[in-house]
A and B are shown apart, each in its own frame.
Chain A
Amino acid sequence: MRAYTPKDNVQKKPYYTDRYWVAPQVAKHEVSSDAVFARDLEAISAKFTVLEAYIQVDQMVVIINAEDNFGVIELMKNSLEYNQLSELSAIDWLAAEGKFEIFYQMLSMSKRKRVRIKCKIDEKESIQSVEKLFRSADWSEREMYDMFGIVINNHPFMKRILMPDDWEGFPLRKTYPLQGDEFASWYEVDKIFGKEAREIIGPENRDPARVDRYDTERFARLGHEVPRGADISQGEPDTPLVYQESEGVFLIEKFDAEKSVVISDRDR
């Protein structure tokens, strides 16, 4: 017989779990399976420590030590023909392992290959800039600093790129709330009017479906029509239904069922 399951609170927990479900993984292949990548990896590992290397979706991923990043990318650019740094950013793994992962995505036009260089740094650690090698790293590294708070050494213009200069907090960290922290929610008020204005202006409305029943200043409200700005906190006056003829209109009379005559004889 089937086990009894209460039908009234199925929402509270998943009532079905697939015992055989495995989270999908992108397959990793040996680097030796691709001749071009194998030669590149040999050249890198001859000079630097390679912690791990594999091929994923036809791209080689090489994990190195963070202090080698400039050397490895210089080698890739000057000797291995990887002439484009197409992307550079970080991933926040602070909760899981207390580290940031930094990746450099490189493209070789002549070999038609892409390689990803990865390294990990601690939260307070800084990393060497590769702006001297690729100009594209300039803004990417500024963005990395802006969004994650990773300090870049030897960068020519280490400054926030997207957020205002006086912003506090690093928005792409997993610990940063999507709707902003205390500083973010009062940023424009503090900056323009000063902290004293916080009480006058009030907190942000973060509920898009909010309707204030007693607000008569705004354009959308519920309830009876009242003049703008009227105080209806004690309840607004009812708008009674009035008919034009109830006051008495010339020649118009309200229908009275009592006085009406029902004609039964149709042939009259």
Chain B
Amino acid sequence: MAQHQVNYLKDGGLPVALTTIDKVVNWGRSNSLWALTYGLACCGIEMMASGASRYDFDRFGTIFRASPRQAELMVVAGTLTKKHAEFIRRLYDQMTEPKWVISMGSCANTGGMFNTYATVQGVDRVIPVDLYLPGCAPRPETLQYGVMLLQQKIRRESASRAQKPKRLM
């Protein structure tokens, strides 16, 4: 008799895991959120800090990519000017589905302190936003918490169906 006999029926030790396709796909999606580098102003510094070694975004599977084709998460970190608005929309359109957007900081949420003629009063006027992070600037911990919330959101979604069209406003 083998010395280390596996008792399949004891302790739930069956070498079988039952799950759904949705869960597997969403598990994959939520743990490899590749983010588009979108630092627009001072919040961009905090976003870079979250990616760097001290806060280490890589352990969430969030790796910053410089191309919209390889990214599925857009962290809009900073002040969006009206001149730049068309480019953010173009880059958003170039990202492949499924895609998510985090609006980081007061400026991206509402225009923040820049209540002037040249600033877009919230990126949700241009692209649909999944998550708003308050703060000026939000600390890297906040951004990481935000990404974890987004992961929870992705895990709740149904992976097999096409993404529901998102509300712009």
- Interface of A toward B, CB cutoff 8 Å: 162-164, 171, 176-181, 184-185, 187-189, 191-192, 200-202, 204-206, 208, 217, 219
Minimum CB distance partner of A188 in chain B:
B85
**Is residue B157 contacting chain A, with contact meaning CB distance below 8 A?**
no
- Whether B115 contacts A179 by the Cβ 8 Å rule is yes
Contact B167 A205 (CB under 8 A): no
Provide the bound-state CA to CA distance between A184 and B116, in Å. 10
**Which chain B residues in 80-98 approach chain A with CB under 8 Å?**
82-83, 85-86, 89
A-B contact count (CB 8 A): 56
**Using Cβ atoms and an 8 Å threshold, which residues of chain A touch B89?**
192
Partner of B82, one of A164, A201, A208: A164
Contact with A along B76-118 (1 / 0, CB 8 A): 0000001101100100000000000000000000110001111
Q: Using Cβ atoms and an 8 Å threshold, which residues of chain A touch B126?
A: 188, 192
Determine how close the nearest CB of chain A comes to the CB of B153; give it in whole angstroms. 12
Instruction: Tell whether, in the assembled complex, residue A204 and residue B125 are in contact, meaning their CB atoms are under 8 Å apart.
Output: yes
**Most chain-B Cβ atoms within 10 A of its Cβ — which of A180, A181, A217?**
A180
Interface centre among A181, A202, A205 (most CB of B within 10 A): A205
B132 touches A188 (CB 8 A): no
A198 CB, min distance to chain B CBs, angstroms: 11
Inter-chain contact A205/B121, CB cutoff 8 Å: yes
Q: Which residues of A contact B118 (CB under 8 A)?
A: 163, 171, 180, 184
The verdict on A219 contacting B132 (CB below 8 Å), with A178-B117, A188-B125, A188-B126 known, is yes
Contact in complex: A178, B85 (CB < 8 Å): no
Q: How far is the CB of A230 from chain B (nearest CB, A)?
A: 15
Distance in angstroms between the alpha carbons of A206 and B111 in the assembled complex: 9
Can you list 18 A-B pairs, Cβ within 8 angstroms, ordered by A? A162-B83, A163-B83, A171-B117, A179-B115, A180-B116, A180-B117, A180-B118, A181-B117, A184-B117, A187-B82, A188-B120, A188-B125, A191-B85, A192-B85, A200-B168, A201-B125, A201-B169, A208-B115
User: Is the CB–CB distance between A206 and B169 below 8 Å?
Assistant: no
Q: Is B122 an interface residue (CB 8 A)?
A: yes
Cβ-defined contact, A200 with B121, below 8 A: no
Q: B121 and A206: CB pair below 8 A?
A: yes
How many chain B residues touch A (CB < 8 A): the figure is 20
Distance to closest chain A CB from B103 (angstroms): 10
Cross-chain contact B83 with A178 (CB below 8 angstroms): no
Known: A192-B126, A200-B168. A179 touches B85 (CB 8 A): no
| B82–A188 touching, CB < 8 Å | yes
Q: Nearest-CB distance from A208 to chain B (Å)?
A: 7
Cα separation A219 to B106 with both chains bound (whole Å): 13
Within the assembled complex, what's the spacing in Å between the Cα atoms of A164 and B85? 11
CB-defined contacts of B86 to chain A, threshold 8 Å: 188, 191-192
Which of chain B's residues have a CB closer than 8 A to the CB of A176? 117
Task: List 8 additional A-B contacts (Cβ < 8 Å) besides A164-B82, A192-B86, A204-B111.
Answer: A162-B83, A164-B83, A187-B82, A188-B125, A200-B169, A201-B169, A206-B121, A217-B167
A179 touches B132 (CB 8 A): no
For the complex formed, measure the closest distance between the CB of B1 and the CB atoms of chain A, giving whole angstroms. 50
Inside 8 A of B122's CB, which chain A residues have their CB? 205
Output the least CB separation between A220 and chain B (Å). Answer: 9
Closest to A206 in B: B115
Residues in chain A near residue B132, CB distance under 8 A: 219
Which residues on B sit within 8 Å (CB–CB) of A202?
Answer: 169
